[in-house]
Amino acid sequence: MDPRHKLNNKYDFQILSAPNNGHVYLDSAATSLTPKCVTDKIDEYYNCYNANIHRGIHDWAEQATEEYEGVRPVVRKFIGANQDKEIVFTSGTTHGINTIANCFCADWTIKDTVILSEAEHHANIVPWQQLKVRQGLT
C-alpha cells in the first residue's frame, strides 16, 4: 500500500460493501475494520509463504520475514515516524499499551505522573493503575 493512500473511503473496507441494514460500526476499540489491501496481503501470506518470521532459513520463512520487515518503512512513512526502528508491531492496542506500561515505563519513579481521562477504555486504565501501585506513581 502506498503510504499516501488515504483509508477514508468505505470501499477500502470490503465488509462495508455487504448488506448491513443501515448499521454503523463503532466498536473499533475492540476490533477495527480491516482494509481490503490488508486482507489481500493476509491471503497472500497464508497461500504463498505461511511460515514464522525471523526463525527459519527455508524459502517460505525468508519470504515471510522479508514481507514483515518490508512493512516497517511503509508504516513509518504513513504515520510520520523518523526511523524504521521506531515501529513496533503488537497484536493489538491492549497488548501495545501493556508493553509500554510494563517495559518502557519500568524506570518511572514517584516524580512521574500518568494522566488519564474519564473517557479512557478499560484496557488503557488497568495497566497504568498497576504501574502506579507497582512503582508508587501519582
22 lies in the same domain as 78:
yes
pLDDT of the residue at 5: 58
d(CA 51, CA 76): 24
60 lies in the same domain as 78:
yes
What's the structural domain count of the chain?
A: 2
Q: 33: left (phi > 0), else alpha (psi -120 to 50), else beta?
A: beta
Q: What is the pLDDT of residues 89-105, one digit of tens each?
A: 998 888 999 999 888 88
Is 16 among the domain residues? yes
62 lies in the same domain as 117:
no
Taking the whole predicted model, whether its pTM rises above 0.75 is answered as: no
Average pLDDT over residues 4-27: 75
Question: What's the Cα-to-Cα distance from 57 to each of 51, 63, 75, rounded to whole Å?
Answer: 10, 10, 26
58 lies in the same domain as 21:
yes
d(CA 61, CA 53): 6
Q: What is the pLDDT of residues 25-57, one digit of tens each?
A: 887 777 888 889 899 999 999 999 999 999 999
80 lies in the same domain as 102:
no
54 lies in the same domain as 18:
yes
Strand ranges, E, within 48-135: none
- Domain assignment of residue 50, given as a range: 10-86
The type of residue at 33 is L
